[in-house]
Amino acid sequence: KRKGNFVRHYDKEYLKLGFIVAPGSELSPRPLCVICSEVLSNDAMKPSKLARHLHSKHRDFTDKPLDVFNRLRDQMKLQKTQMKTMTISDKSLLKASYLVALRIAKTKKLFTIGEELVQPCILDVVQEILGPQATKKLEAIPLSDTTIQRRIVDMAIDIEKQVVEGINKSRCFAIQLDESTDVTQGLDWSKCVGVCTDGAASMTGRRSGVVAKIKEVAHPEVLFTDCMIHRKHLAAKKLSTELNTVMNDAVKIINEIRSRATNSRLFTTLCESMDSHHQHLLLHAEVRVLARPFELREEVKQFLRERKSDLVEPLFNEEWMTKLTYMPDIFNLMNELNISVQGSCTNIFTLRNKMDAFKKKLALWDSRVQEEDIEMFPLLGEFLNAADINQKVIFNIISQHLRALAENFNNYFPENEDPRKGNLWINNPFLEDIKSCALDLHEKEKLIELSSDVTLVSRHKMQKLPQFCISLDKEYPSLSYKAIKLLVVFSTSYLCEKTFPAMSVIKTKQRNRVDVNPALR
């Protein structure tokens, strides 16, 4: 009897019987027929069984010379090499197709651009530089519109899967919403610590709103916030009666020129003939810079006067022009604030700091205006130097507007709803007074240890705040989790708002049936 695992070995003489060693079976060789490519077991690795296979299945090859089997062996090896090369080539072509699809999705271009523009350009360049042989290989890259669409959908599904897996593996997460959504992805809502919305009634309703639904399943300490950018716009939107009248008149003047194509063309021609720096008026939007009408005031005067329009009268009123000049100055300052609070890496500390700073600036500007110092309003100062009007009236109007702005900002950003209260230690654990921190006794003891660790001071300076808090997880897990839980909360719905311009580019009139979700993701 055979004891143990007996392994038969291949003999070169077996090639006369039409067999070689099957690739990948070198440790336990298995005979491979070079005629029919059948692979036998290791037990069949002996002349009698190999000969029986040759006589029973390939009788015509029984008396063939060794050269015939050598040729069949070489052909088989060549076929396998070609198959391996083709497999590698197919993988490269597939990857290239995905790379092109990714570029098309990022640039929000038509899916047909791959076949109509990208591939012809690639072939032209390769033909010129590398020659026809390389061109022939690249012709096989699949870049049709349906293929590109499938590639984008595949990548979008994979991204969504990775995001959902990452959220479910995390200790906590926050979301920002601009409309209600479904819960089909199976998120663990008990880990949800923050929800940011635009403040719409459908989102914040006490009974049927999204916020009310999330409260039922979310983390007990979940923090609900309204988008700070939306609140800032609402605070800046209200104008006094005098300034609102000027705004409405300015809008009528702009619409008179821009709403009719003929008027717009004639106004452009007039501006060109007068060598103006600008040739067009911008359409009005609320809380938007109105510097263009002021800069083109002489051109607008002449145009409306030639057309005998009654709207030209305010342009000859210096008090009206002074109020108009003030608005682009203050709107410019508010736009600077608006730009500073946008971005995907903001948190409630940085944005709330910016809002507090702007409220203090409003108070400072008000005090300077009462002293008849308008250095912060350059356009207004330039105009008043050349105008002959009662400046005290204008200063009173401006002062009232600044105080009203400050009051609106205080209403939309009240101190009693400041999430930083008791949590300033997160921003800098080395400076904050321990007594004012919203922590229990054990956490305060750990914070004292943390703030006394001089080795962490340099790390705090070198790392960004989120990375620093994450790095504390092993030494101070409770403090790290408490800090991360507040830092992940979104303070704006910027990422949601950011998708609207992208969606308008993707879903045009010519592409009104395209599914925007994969392309956006």
Q: For residue 149, give the 3-state DSSP assignment.
A: helix
What are the pLDDT digits (tens) for 223-258? Answer: 888 888 778 777 777 778 888 888 887 777 777 666
Residue 285 pLDDT greater than 90, yes or no:
no
Q: What does the pLDDT read at residue 117? A: 92
For 374-428, how does the pLDDT look when each residue is reduced to its tens digit (9 = 90+)?
889 888 888 888 777 778 888 898 999 999 999 988 888 888 888 888 888 888 8
What does the chain come to in residues?
Answer: 521
Contacts of 443 (CB under 8 A, 6+ apart): 437, 478, 479, 482
Q: Could you tell me the end-to-end alpha-carbon distance of the chain, in angstroms, rounded to an integer?
A: 66
Choose the weakest-confidence range: 161-170, 291-300, 376-385, 474-483: 291-300
Phi then psi for residue 39, to 5 deg, are -105, 125
Spatial contact of 305 and 272, defined as CB atoms under 8 Å apart: no
> What pTM value is reported for the model?
0.68
Helices 241-258 and 391-412, packing angle to 10 deg: 90
Q: Residue ranges of the domains in the chain?
A: 12-86, 90-153, 236-412, 424-488
Query: Residue 152: is its pLDDT beyond 50?
Result: yes
DSSP track, 348-386: HHHHHHHHHHHHHHHHHHHHHHHTT--TT-HHHHHHHHH
DSSP state of 60: G
Helix (H, G, I), strand (E, B) or coil at 144: coil
pLDDT digits (tens, 9 = 90+) for 79-104: 765 555 444 456 788 888 899 999 99
pLDDT at res. 311 = 72
Buried-exposed string 188-202: b where 16+ CB fall within 10 A, e elsewhere: ebebbbbbbbbebee
Could you tell me the two tokens for 411?
A: 């209403």
Bridge partners of 194, per DSSP, are 174, 223
List pLDDT tens digits, range 331-353: 888 888 888 888 777 888 888 88
Residue 326: which residues within 8 A CB-CB, separation 6 or more? 243, 377, 379, 380, 394, 398
Pairing of strands 173-176, 192-197: parallel
